[in-house]
Chain A
Amino acid sequence: MTEMTDRRSSWGMADILVGVVVLAVLSLLIAWATHAPHHSPETGKISLAFWRLPMYALYSWLRMAAAYVISLLFTFVYAYSAAYNKRAEKILIPLLDILQSIPVLSFLPVVLLAFIALFPGSRVGVNLASVILIFTGQVWNMVFALYHGLITIPRDLRESALSLNLSPWQRFRTLELPYSMVGLVWNSMMSWAGGWFFLMAAEMFSLGNKNYQLQGIGSYLQTAANQGDWLAEVAGLVVLVLVIVLMDQLIWRPLLAWADKFKMELVEGDARTRSAVLMILRRSRLIEWLGASLGSPVLEWTDRWFGHTLPRLRQAGPLATVIGLLRTLMVAAIIIVLVTALEGTLKLVQHIAWSELILVFEATGATLLRVLAALAISVVWTVPVGVFIGSNRKWAQTLTPISQIAASVPATALFPGMVALLIHLRGGLSSAAILLMVLGTQWYVLFNVIAGASAIPEDLREATKMFRLKGTRVWTTLILPAIYPYLITGLITAAGGAWNASIVAEYVSFQNHVYTTFGIGSLIAEASAGGRFPLLLLSTSSLALAVVVINRLLWRRLYNRATERYSLS
């Protein structure tokens, strides 16, 4: 088994090809942004009045929802192509790996300029830009979840669908979608959490000497911190937490409880997610009536409609030729775009001096040290606390919800306030940046450690007691090996988050003053603020490359080893 995964994690031509293509498309985007005329967009003024808060929260939520819907559509198209087209899979999967390592925040200014150029003089462009940014922040793990679901559908279920002659649409709604549902719901939750993180940063920022802001809870928090209005800051945070908790109770918990029936287990598990809301919905007469009089006919209708249209698409002669023609045209268009993009890249690259290359290299190193420090701090406090919570059922019951709420607050929402407090610290932003990274990433580690500790089987605990193992012995023989795979999983996510956070942590504008510390994040932020696009392209690729290389060379190996050697199943 390991050979298989190892082999897959080695470098292939596909990776290099995909990397070059991504680079080219990025530079095309940059070219578009630089040539676009600089219209000043209409920006919503932020008022710190409390009664405005619900409105702002709604605006932010709508942006999130729009991005999520786009993500969902994208997920289905992308994951399906990757799972069912062998040729597409070879390109799409490495591409996904690289796309998800590109720091979203570094492209905020570029994407923003591009969209403002598209919709001059209106707020649509700025809004669309933020939606697109949130989309790029939340879509990748959903794609992975669906793709993984589709390719792991057990062979016998697939064969039974075939032997029952289900149409492709029926196969989708009775087999493929249900099978992937649990993963999709979990990853949707994670994507929303990630989305909040980017939304906060994407609603308000300055580019050169211009300030762009959207009415929303993120810009409210930032304005409050800028003006030193702590009461408003706290009120904003309270509203944000409220929105997140409401989302959790009204949407995610019922969805999770509902998705429980899609688990592949054939025995009733003991820990089931419960949701009062779902119970109410399930027992309600109205819902039952809607399902019977609306749901079933719609299903019948879709079965018939898609059953007739889908297979015919494939067989019909003239239609196939039209599709073939379209496909050729699309491939040709893509090739033309790529060639122009590559040309643009070359032009941009020509502007890069040797000194800049060294600068970028050193900056990546500096940020790497900060990321490592942030991870180390997270591990040092989360391992004891997580093990404590995970091994005590009583404490777990009270502490888990609290830590979940704490974790649900996006770190970027806390940044403005934290910066105000930390900026006068010894070492200035250099040490504050590490704390900001910890703030954003510690929860991934904590939750995984808790999960690991609570998964230690009772008989192993009893065996350690029988042998009278004490202190460090218990840790080295039982606890650390048992939580190791979970810890690695947590660290992988945390490291990704820390790299991404470096852009907002190393470059902070606060009360009309810009504070920076040397690192790849601040280099990116400075390059984009100053419109130095060759440097922006170089530093962003360097960051993405660092993430991908470390993933391949370090994390994936550790993870494979962890699951193989220390898994308790």
Chain B
Amino acid sequence: MHNRQKADPLVRMLGVTKMYVQPDHYDILILDDITLEIHPGEFVALLGPSGSGKSTLLRIITGLSEPSFGTVLYRGRPVRGPNPNAAMVFQSFALYPWLTVLQNVELGLAAKGVSPAERHERSVTLIDLIGLNGYEDAFPKELSGGMRQRVGFARALAVEPELLCMDEPFSALDFLTAENLRSELLDLWLESRIPTRAILMVTHGIEEAVYMADRIIVLSKNPARIVADMPVILPYPRNRKSHEFMQIVDTVYKVVTGWDDHPSEDPNIDVIDTQSEERPRLKPIPYGHLSMLSGLLELVADRGGRDDLYHLGAELFLEVDDLLPVTETAELFRLADVTEGDLSLTDLGREFVQADVGMRKEIIREQLRDIPMFRLIDRVLRSKANHAMVKEFFNDILEEHFSVEEAERQLMTSINWGRFADLFHYDTDTELLYLAEDQLEESVQDSP
């Protein structure tokens, strides 16, 4: 029934690029030259790690946000302002707490100028369809999370959109509720009980994407580019336990985790990003929790030092999104390698697992000394007479490389790691990073 070749594309994006302009002209690139088409009849999943700009891409497609360069065409016409033929379902539901379920659903129709009587009728029909009859006069705060998202769907579907956009619609729900809602939405879509022509879903759940979509687009991070665009040719309803299903999930996993191959093998020259010619950029560090890192490595050691990332994630109930920062941290510290979706411990990694807390701190401290960010902090603190420096100083440096929020997160992660490894101290009250006596005495290991 989904015949892609014949129909004209619903959405065409041509060289869409988005950057955030920084006051000091070091703009931050979010989306880099995205070109894609969405055809009637398609259920497309946009997959990528967090911070990959997939939500930004969705907002550009719906016209909520404007691209810095490039064009978005809807049925051949450039999109200017919010697209009236598209509707959006939000991760946080974005319901108006002061309106009842019915009023929330009616909202989009009221904006279109539909008469009150017709508005009421259509909304009630839709509320029935989505399984919320009886709750018309309830307020969102009286509903459970799953029911709230049902209202979110009803509100979006009420305006009979041709393109239904969903921004991680199931990730704020518990597992069972999400599963229930997924299959119900899929039924509505497959049985054509809703007039929607195409669905675009942003997600970080690989299984969710394979379960629902018939096309998966994988984005990379910093900046986002399309790294894969693959069809999912599996008949509905899909069985998560089937061999074919697992095979596709595994393939997607490899694509998602594999894009992060370092451009150079030596981590010491990570500072210089090959993309920008004018100026060296600090390479962002992943925000991995060190306690999670220890836990993960111990688990892998128990498995004989090597395990499939997808299995690990499923076992720990972690999405790729939560797992990746930890594995990236392990790679950064040379404790593990990721190849083809498998995580394997290095010799140092084995040593780390065997060691006690003190030794582990020692190992991480040695590794941190090789990371440019920490070399910078160490050099600054040692060169000052009082061996102390305000946090804002480092923040200012980082803001030349990252957005304001990202700089803050980078610095907080650095401080956490530095504190854990006893590399330097940080006083929250005075916002000072400083070296204590014993930290000072250790010899500086400068770059070779």
Q: Which residues of A are interface residues toward B (Cβ below 8 A)?
A: 2-3, 154, 156-157, 159-160, 162-167, 170, 174-175, 178, 261-268, 296, 300, 303-304, 307, 565
B141–A164 CB distance below 8 A: no
Q: Is B110 an interface residue (CB 8 A)?
A: yes
B88 to A, closest residue via Cβ: A163
Interface centre among B91, B107, B395 (most CB of A within 10 A): B107
The smallest beta-carbon distance between B196 and chain A, in angstroms, is: 15
B126-157: which have CB < 8 Å to A?
139-142, 148, 155
A160 to B91, CA, bound (A): 11
Assuming A165-B108, A166-B111, A170-B110, is B88 touching A160 (CB within 8 A)? yes
Assuming A163-B62, A164-B111, A300-B116, is B88 touching A268 (CB within 8 A)? no
A300 to B112, CA, bound (A): 12
A300 to B, closest residue via Cβ: B116
B107–A174 CB distance below 8 A: yes
**9 interchain pairs (CB within 8 A)?**
A3-B395, A154-B94, A163-B62, A166-B111, A174-B99, A178-B96, A263-B97, A265-B141, A267-B141
B94–A157 CB distance below 8 A: yes
The smallest beta-carbon distance between A512 and chain B, in angstroms, is: 56
Number of inter-chain CB pairs below 8 Å: 75
Q: Is B191 an interface residue (CB 8 A)?
A: no
A264–B97 CB distance below 8 A: yes
The smallest beta-carbon distance between A487 and chain B, in angstroms, is: 19
Segment from B16-24, B79-87, B213-221 that makes contact with A: B79-87
Determine the chain B residues whose CB is within 8 A of the CB of A265 once the complex forms.
Answer: 97, 141
A268–B141 CB distance below 8 A: yes
Q: Is B448 an interface residue (CB 8 A)?
A: no
Assuming A178-B98, A264-B97, A266-B140, is B113 touching A307 (CB within 8 A)? yes
Q: Is B64 an interface residue (CB 8 A)?
A: yes
Determine the chain B residues whose CB is within 8 A of the CB of A178 once the complex forms.
Answer: 96, 98
B107–A164 CB distance below 8 A: yes
Q: Is B59 an interface residue (CB 8 A)?
A: yes
Determine the chain B residues whose CB is within 8 A of the CB of A160 once the complex forms.
Answer: 88, 90, 94, 155
Task: Among B98, B159, B429, point to the contact of A164 (Cβ < 8 A).
Answer: B159
Q: Is B179 an interface residue (CB 8 A)?
A: no
A165 to B112, CA, bound (A): 8
A159 to B, closest residue via Cβ: B64
Determine the chain B residues whose CB is within 8 A of the CB of A157 once the complex forms.
Answer: 94, 96
A2 to B110, CA, bound (A): 42
A300 to B395, CA, bound (A): 51
Determine the chain A residues whose CB is within 8 A of the CB of B121 once the complex forms.
Answer: none
B94–A156 CB distance below 8 A: yes
Interface string of B153-176 (1 = CB under 8 A from A): 001000100000000000000000
Q: Is B431 an interface residue (CB 8 A)?
A: yes
A-B interface, 9 closest residue pairs, ranked by CB to CB distance from nearest: A156-B94, A160-B94, A164-B108, A163-B88, A166-B111, A162-B82, A178-B98, A165-B111, A262-B98
B87 to A, closest residue via Cβ: A163
A159-B94, A262-B98 given; name 18 further pairs at CB < 8 Å.
Answer: A156-B91, A159-B59, A160-B90, A163-B86, A163-B87, A165-B82, A165-B84, A174-B96, A175-B96, A178-B96, A261-B98, A262-B97, A265-B97, A266-B141, A267-B141, A268-B142, A300-B116, A565-B429
Determine the chain B residues whose CB is within 8 A of the CB of A164 once the complex forms.
Answer: 87, 107-108, 111, 155, 159
A561 to B, closest residue via Cβ: B429
Interface string of B348-392 (1 = CB under 8 A from A): 000000000000000000000000000000000000000000001
Q: Is B35 an interface residue (CB 8 A)?
A: no
A303 to B, closest residue via Cβ: B110
Q: Is B414 an interface residue (CB 8 A)?
A: no
Determine the chain B residues whose CB is within 8 A of the CB of A156 once the complex forms.
Answer: 90-92, 94
Determine the chain B residues whose CB is within 8 A of the CB of A162 once the complex forms.
Answer: 64, 82
A162 to B86, CA, bound (A): 11
A307 to B110, CA, bound (A): 11
The smallest beta-carbon distance between A300 and chain B, in angstroms, is: 6
A159 to B59, CA, bound (A): 9
Assuming A164-B107, A165-B111, is B116 touching A296 (CB within 8 A)? yes
Determine the chain A residues whose CB is within 8 A of the CB of B64 once the complex forms.
Answer: 159, 162-163
A164 to B84, CA, bound (A): 7
The smallest beta-carbon distance between A86 and chain B, in angstroms, is: 14
A54 to B16, CA, bound (A): 70
Task: Among B82, B92, B97, point to the contact of A261 (Cβ < 8 A).
Answer: B97
Determine the chain B residues whose CB is within 8 A of the CB of A268 once the complex forms.
Answer: 141-142
- Report the count of interface residues on B (CB-CB < 8 A): 35
B24-52: which have CB < 8 Å to A?
none
Interface string of B261-280 (1 = CB under 8 A from A): 00000000000000000000
Task: Among A166, A167, A266, A304, point to the contact of B97 (Cβ < 8 A).
Answer: A266
A265 to B98, CA, bound (A): 10
Interface centre among B96, B113, B140 (most CB of A within 10 A): B96
A522 to B428, CA, bound (A): 45
Assuming A3-B395, A174-B99, A300-B116, is B82 touching A163 (CB within 8 A)? yes
B199-241: which have CB < 8 Å to A?
none
A308 to B, closest residue via Cβ: B113
A164 to B94, CA, bound (A): 12
A166 to B431, CA, bound (A): 45
The smallest beta-carbon distance between B422 and chain A, in angstroms, is: 24
A162 to B392, CA, bound (A): 37
A103 to B141, CA, bound (A): 44
B83 to A, closest residue via Cβ: A163
A434 to B86, CA, bound (A): 65
A267 to B142, CA, bound (A): 7
The smallest beta-carbon distance between A45 and chain B, in angstroms, is: 50
A369 to B142, CA, bound (A): 53
Determine the chain B residues whose CB is within 8 A of the CB of A165 once the complex forms.
Answer: 82, 84, 108, 111-112
B139 to A, closest residue via Cβ: A261
Determine the chain B residues whose CB is within 8 A of the CB of A159 once the complex forms.
Answer: 59, 64, 88, 90, 94
A166 to B91, CA, bound (A): 20
Interface string of B93-119 (1 = CB under 8 A from A): 010111100000001101111001000
A159 to B65, CA, bound (A): 10
A304 to B115, CA, bound (A): 11
A164 to B395, CA, bound (A): 39
The smallest beta-carbon distance between B145 and chain A, in angstroms, is: 9
A152 to B392, CA, bound (A): 25
A296 to B106, CA, bound (A): 14
B116–A167 CB distance below 8 A: no
The smallest beta-carbon distance between A132 and chain B, in angstroms, is: 34
Interface centre among A159, A165, A262 (most CB of B within 10 A): A165
B99 to A, closest residue via Cβ: A174
A159 to B148, CA, bound (A): 17
A565 to B427, CA, bound (A): 12
Determine the chain A residues whose CB is within 8 A of the CB of B97 once the complex forms.
Answer: 261-266
The smallest beta-carbon distance between A315 and chain B, in angstroms, is: 12
The smallest beta-carbon distance between B406 and chain A, in angstroms, is: 15
The smallest beta-carbon distance between A265 and chain B, in angstroms, is: 7
Interface string of B423-439 (1 = CB under 8 A from A): 00000110100000000
A3 to B, closest residue via Cβ: B392
Determine the chain A residues whose CB is within 8 A of the CB of B395 once the complex forms.
Answer: 3
A133 to B421, CA, bound (A): 62
A268 to B, closest residue via Cβ: B141
A165 to B, closest residue via Cβ: B111
Interface centre among A154, A156, A268, A307 (most CB of B within 10 A): A156
A74 to B142, CA, bound (A): 36
The smallest beta-carbon distance between B109 and chain A, in angstroms, is: 9
The smallest beta-carbon distance between A561 and chain B, in angstroms, is: 8
Determine the chain A residues whose CB is within 8 A of the CB of B111 once the complex forms.
Answer: 164-167, 170
Interface centre among B108, B111, B431 (most CB of A within 10 A): B111
A265 to B90, CA, bound (A): 17
A159 to B167, CA, bound (A): 12
The smallest beta-carbon distance between B79 and chain A, in angstroms, is: 12
The smallest beta-carbon distance between B224 and chain A, in angstroms, is: 19
Determine the chain B residues whose CB is within 8 A of the CB of A266 once the complex forms.
Answer: 97, 140-141, 148
